[in-house]
Amino acid sequence: MAGLVNFEDEEEVRGYLENLHVEYSYQCYRERDPDGCQRLADYLEAVRKDFAAAARVLRGNCEAQGHSESCYKLGAYQAIGKGGLTPDLKAAYNSFLKSCEKGGKRSINACHNVGLLAHDGRVNDDKPDPVVARDYYTKACDGNFAPSCFNLSVIYLQGAPGVPKDMNLALQYSLKACELGHMWACANASRMYKIGDGIEKNDTKAEALKNRAKQLHKEQKEASSSLTFGE
């Protein structure tokens, strides 16, 4: 296959990997290249399994350089206390927020995580903030992130302080999440059409969406059963 590096023995592999470490370190520390720092963090994490060193690089690249992907990964480390960091959801929230606002490779995921943490309330003295959650779920949904579209539909379906119940928006976001492959969104939209809860009843659409939910469930089960241990 084109592009693959062929190695004769393990010593060659070790040499190649060590050269990568030197190259990424040079890019990060000498050239001050934020993308190089991200590559270094990925190398430390994936190859050396040195999560503490990876966390240090991610923190520096996020806080000093504002690198979106590094901020996203730093947030993930902070959320669970990876790499020797103290678990800190508020710090994770701020890192995800930086990544979301910056834009980039993982910014949509970061926006969703901001929404989750605001919705959960643990970053705000156990006081959920559905308005902030709605705003950041919307950013992620606009980027076609299905779980955010589904969560938006639930907020509008139930209503919350500052976010009035709106069945039309609930249906709109359920349908979008369904189109993006979210099984439960298809099921919710089907139910809304079936009972006509705040929208016009439509048995044909309800049945089609129910079948879509069943198909997605079948595909998920087949995908799970085809996985091999270690993959």
* Average pLDDT over every residue of 107-131: 95
For 46-58, the pLDDT digits (tens) are 999 999 999 999 9
Q: Which amino acid is at 222?
A: E
Highest mean pLDDT among 7-11, 72-76, 220-224: 72-76
For 3-22, the pLDDT digits (tens) are 445 555 677 778 888 899 99
CA distance 144 to 47: 31
Residue 137 has pLDDT above 60, yes or no: yes
Written as six digits, the tokens of 15 are 């040499």
Give the closest residue to 106 by CA, choosing from 76, 138, 133.
Answer: 76
**Contact criterion met (CB below 8 Å) for 57 and 37:** yes
pTM value surpassing 0.85: yes
Written as six digits, the tokens of 222 are 């087949």
CA distance 219 to 226: 11
